[in-house]
Amino acid sequence: MKKMTLFLAILILSRVGIAYGADTAPNGLQNFFLGTSNANTANINQVLALLVGPAGPPGAAGVAGRDGFMGMNGVDGMPGAPGPVGQTGAQGIQGLQGVAGAAGAAGAPGPAGAQGPAGPAGGVSLGYANGTVGLTGCDDSVKLDIGSLFTPSGFKLKSISVSLISADCKSPAKLNIYITKFPCEAAPAEGYAPGKACTNVPEKVTMKCVTPIENAIAGVITINAAAIDAGTTTCTKYLGTGSIDNFFADETGDTGTPMDDLYRNPKSGDAAKDNPAIGLEIVA
């Protein structure tokens, strides 16, 4: 209440002062630059004037504003031109040898290697009826021919020829031929007394003839008396106690093994045992 009373007193006193100091003319207008004028004058519009004084000193720097938003990244510029090639540097010091790595997994099996040199082919028996003999090694089959010569005393063994020898059979391979004269068995067939199968005939013997494969002519090797005399074929005793002299007949027919001596006598009726026993093999 006291504050309100003090406020009203100040307001009343200020109005009294204003009224006291005012111009006696009614409706006066105060102009700070051109003087005083009354509101009832003909030209009520007052001229406004602006007085420009000297520039004051710069004010203190304002507080810095907040940072603006981050702008978008610009587009990458084009690559610059390559620079000149620098000089080759000196070779560095060789580093220490690294630790050996763990063994890798086994690889897949490689392709099959080339066929090795021919091994021995098992001895092959063939009946006197000429035909083809199966082999192993560098050749799988050859043809065997037995040549005979007619003489006044009968047919005699003239030659043994092996043909169709594969070109894959090359030096140092050799052709071995085994020929048995009187192929009697130790135990003769039924009906014959033991030890009597070869009675009254020369002792059983097997001859082995070796011919180098390079002596083949157009895939054919022939052994006869001429080949043995020329040394292109070498024949030796392989089994038995009989003689191998004059095994092949010459052109005169004075020597040679009778063809009957190549058979079992007497015959057993088994062609595999009664026919000539001739074996063939090609060995490295």
Q: Which is nearest to 175 in space by CA: 115, 106, 227, 250?
A: 227
The number of folded domains in the chain is 1
Tokens 């005979």 correspond to: 148
Q: How many residues does the chain have?
A: 284
pLDDT band at 189, cuts 50/70/90?
very low
Q: Is residue 2 part of a domain?
A: no
> What is the rounded average pLDDT for all residues in the chain?
73
- Is residue 182 situated within a structural domain? yes
* Cα dist from 189 to 203, 261, 266, whole Å: 18, 18, 9
* Identity of the amino acid at 17: G
Of the two residues 163 and 192, the one the predictor is more confident about is: 163
CB atoms within 10 A of CB 178: 18
d(CA 235, CA 222): 13
Tokens of 116: 């090795």
Asked if 280 and 123 count as a contact pair (C-beta separation under 8 A), the reply is yes
Q: Which DSSP category does 226 fall into? A: H
Take residue 225 and report the two structure tokens written for it. Answer: 């008396």
Cis upstream peptide for 117 (omega within 30°):
no
**Tell me: the pLDDT tens digits for 111-159?**
544 444 434 333 344 444 345 566 667 888 888 888 888 888 888 899 9
- The position carrying tokens 């009697």 is 184
**Does the pTM of the predicted model rise above 0.75?**
no
Tell me if 209 is assigned to some domain: yes
Residue 146 domain-assigned (yes or no): yes
**Band of the pLDDT at 227, cuts 50, 70, 90?**
very high
Contact 165, 175 (CB under 8 A): yes
Residue 208, helix vs strand vs coil: strand
Is residue 102 included in any domain, yes or no? no
Which domain, by its residues, includes 229? 131-283
Residue 114 resides in a domain: no
Q: Is residue 271 part of a domain?
A: yes
